[in-house]
Amino acid sequence: MSKRETQNSKRRAFSRRAARKRGGGEWRKEVERVLITEEQISRRIRILAREIERDFRGRELVVVSLLNGTVMFLADLIRHLNLPLRLDFMGVSSYGLGTESGDLVFTKELRLDVRGRDLLLVDDILDTGKTMSRVLPKIRALKPRRIKICVLLDKPSRRVEKIRADYVGFEIPDYFVVGYGLDFAERYRNLPFVGVLHPHIYKQACQQICPK
Ligand code: PRP
């Protein structure tokens, strides 16, 4: 390495350290541990994509993604799907504290006509199943030919509605997970991995917001 390259590399290392000191990355400490790494996610998505391709071969697919948590998973999944597809979004959000599903509100309706189409419904996590149990009748009413559900994460131990996903990235225990699109109070979505949120973070938030 030349002297100039050495100096440039030292300068870059210094800037990274300075950025960390300014608080860059501090919030990551609120994540107790990494549950699923970037590499594991990426490998699993390629396998899911092959399964979906096999099941939908020869069909023109409409992928319907539930906002907002699904963004990272969706982007990575569809870039590996070697099929003709169209993409649409449904906005649905629970007005809960972040650890429990609260009342659901629809914030965006589908724009594409899905009648007679093969539809792949994509979400980041299947937890209690309340979201899917509200979304499915709405979509069924639009008369698609068939509906398959694909989720990155499945927490079967929390299920209260009888919902099953056709494609599951990872089945996980009842941890409060964030990252790779999943949030707590709208934060942590940009983490490239799925991590377990430190319980003191959501307990703290609950103490501030929960009625006594
Ligand atoms: C999350 C997630 C799922 C839903 C799963 O959405 O994206 O849609 O909860 O939970 P359930 O199975 O218990 O219904 P949220 O309402 O938090 O909105 P977000 O996608 O914007 O994070």
Among residues 124, 127, 154, 166, the one annotated as catalytic is 127
| Domain total in the chain | 1
Mean pLDDT across the chain, nearest whole number?
Answer: 87
pLDDT band at 11 (very low <50, low <70, confident <90, very high): low
pLDDT at 26: 75
Partnered with residue 147 across adjacent β-strands are 119
Say yes or no: CB of residue 68 within 6 Å of ligand 1. yes
pLDDT band at 187 (very low <50, low <70, confident <90, very high): very high
| Substitution site in 73, 125, 134 for ligand 1 pocket (most atoms within 8 Å of beta carbon) | 125
pLDDT at 29: 80
For residues 22-49, average pLDDT: 88
Run of H or E including 210: none
Query: Which residue range forms the structural domain that includes residue 135?
Result: 38-174
Do residues 140 and 132 make contact, with C-beta atoms less than 8 angstroms apart? no
Whether 55 is catalytic: no
Q: Per residue in 120-155, pLDDT tens? A: 999 999 999 999 999 999 999 999 999 999 999 999
Parallel, antiparallel, or unpaired: how do β-strands 31-36 and 194-197 relate?
A: antiparallel
For residues 27-53, average pLDDT: 95
Residue 104 resides in a domain = yes
Closest residue by Cα to atom 3, ligand 1, is 125
Ligand 1 center–CA 188 separation, angstroms: 14
Rounded to whole angstroms, the Cα distance separating 55 from 57 reads 6
pLDDT at 14: 46
pLDDT at 72: 97
Strand, coil or helix: what is 113? coil
pTM value is 0.85
Q: Per residue in 50-79, pLDDT tens? A: 999 999 999 989 999 999 999 999 999 999
pLDDT band at 24 (very low <50, low <70, confident <90, very high): low
Residue 71 resides in a domain = yes
Residue 180 resides in a domain = no
Say yes or no: CB of residue 154 within 6 Å of ligand 1. no
Rounded to whole angstroms, the Cα distance separating 201 from 206 reads 9
At 85, which CATH number? 3.40.50.2020
